[in-house]
């Protein structure tokens, strides 16, 4: 395995070649999805049932759900491996800290505080929302996530006039997870949203999927889901949230700003520098689909970008 220095990192350096090359993408994704279906339950993290009310549009779509075995067996989670099947094998070995605590702080928070997972789950009724999820490598899935709008948690910290952006940080355990050299990216993983994006009702604080708590490889015990953005914006295993005044750094923008911008909205009109984003492979399907702008959630989110050039603010 060739380890490049940080400034030279390319997403393709740590992504399997058969996934990112245009002429091989279909075969690579289809084969990986088939392999994911065969992941044994013993290789998946322990989960418990979650009761949640099923929601209707705009929170849910009526498309066929991607099988749980695919969702739990084919992931991007670089803390547990750079291959798509690695997290399903390595993440279940990680012991999730209990209690899980999330620190909410920053100059934009009038009421900074630390909350455990039990307290967070009491902030709002749990909902099951069936969302499309689109990865920048041109594959997509449909997932019944469980959680509620992130805004319920952010309001607890009483955002003030300095809260222009929300920065997120993933938990990092150097003993159980890959090193920065092995993964090729900096840890802990960081992401960010503009405040209005974070407060949008579609932006989800997620604790489960398919009626159960999140498997480790899917971001246990707490993650964000931003359905109109590419998947790497939906940060996993979060333990810190900061309300800040300036645009925060994000992991893939640090690694390669030319290819991974801060906004990262799903946009078929703007190609990735090395492949087209106009079509996608829905895992488990044989034919390609046209990519929907904002992943099909334009009615709910397009207004936030009406004043922006989305070719420059990619």
Residue range 247-272: average pLDDT?
96
Domain-located, residue 217: yes
How far apart, in Å, are the Cα atoms of 37 and each of 19, 30, 210?
17, 11, 15
Instruction: Show the domain range for 115.
Output: 6-305
Long-range CB pairs of 21-26 (<8 Å, 24+ gap) are: 22/274, 22/275, 22/276, 25/137, 25/138, 25/139, 25/275, 25/281, 26/281, 26/288
Q: Is residue 159 part of a domain?
A: yes
Task: Decide if pLDDT at 44 tops 80.
Answer: no
Higher model confidence: residue 28 or residue 239? 239
**What pLDDT score was predicted for residue 36?**
42
Q: What integer pLDDT is reported at residue 45 of this predicted model? A: 52
For residue 144, tell me if it sits in a domain: yes
Per-residue pLDDT at 47: 81
Is residue 312 in a domain? no
pTM: 0.86
For residue 44, the domain's CATH number is: 3.90.420.10
Phi-psi region of 96 (alpha: psi -120 to 50; beta: other; left: phi over 0): beta
pLDDT tens figures, 189-219 = 999 999 999 999 999 999 999 999 999 999 9
Domain assignment present for residue 206? The answer is yes
Cα separation, 234 vs 106, in Å, equals 21
**Which pLDDT score, from 0 to 100, does residue 24 have?**
34
174: how many CB neighbours lie within 10 A of its CB?
A: 11
What is the β-pairing status of strands 139-149 and 279-282? parallel
Mean pLDDT of the chain: 88
Residue 310 lies in a domain: no
pLDDT at residue 27, rounded to an integer: 37
- The domain tally of the chain equals 1
């Amino acid at each position: 395995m060739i380890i490049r220095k940080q400034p030279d990192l390319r997403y393709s350096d740590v992504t399997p070649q058969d996934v990112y090359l245009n002429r091989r993408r279909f075969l690579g994704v289809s084969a990986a999805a088939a392999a994911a279906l065969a992941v044994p339950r013993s290789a998946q993290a322990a989960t418990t049932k979650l009761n949640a009310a099923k929601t209707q549009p705009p929170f849910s779509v009526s498309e066929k759900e991607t099988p749980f075995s695919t969702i739990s067996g084919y992931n991007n989670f670089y803390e547990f491996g750079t291959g798509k099947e690695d997290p399903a094998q390595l993440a279940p070995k990680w012991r999730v800290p209990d209690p899980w605590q999330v620190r909410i702080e920053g100059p934009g928070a009038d009421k900074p505080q630390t909350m455990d997972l039990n307290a967070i789950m009491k902030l709002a009724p749990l909902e099951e929302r069936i969302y499309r999820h689109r990865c920048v490598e041109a594959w997509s899935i449909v997932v019944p996530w469980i959680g509620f709008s992130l805004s319920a948690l952010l309001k607890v910290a009483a955002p003030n006039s300095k809260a222009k952006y929300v920065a997120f940080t993933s938990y990092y355990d150097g003993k159980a997870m890959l090193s920065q050299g092995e993964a090729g990216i900096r840890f802990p993983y960081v992401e960010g949203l503009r405040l209005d994006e974070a407060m949008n009702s579609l932006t989800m604080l997620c604790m489960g999927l398919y009626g159960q708590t999140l498997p480790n490889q899917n971001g246990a015990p707490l993650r964000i889901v931003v359905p109109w953005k590419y998947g790497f914006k939906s940060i996993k295993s979060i333990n810190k949230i900061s309300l800040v005044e300036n645009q925060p750094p994000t992991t893939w923008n640090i690694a390669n700003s030319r290819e991974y911008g801060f906004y990262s909205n799903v946009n078929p009109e703007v190609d990735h520098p090395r492949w087209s984003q106009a079509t996608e492979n829905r895992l488990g399907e044989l034919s390609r689909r046209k990519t929907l702008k904002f992943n099909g959630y334009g009615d709910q989110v397009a207004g936030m970008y009406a004043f922006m050039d989305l070719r420059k603010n990619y």
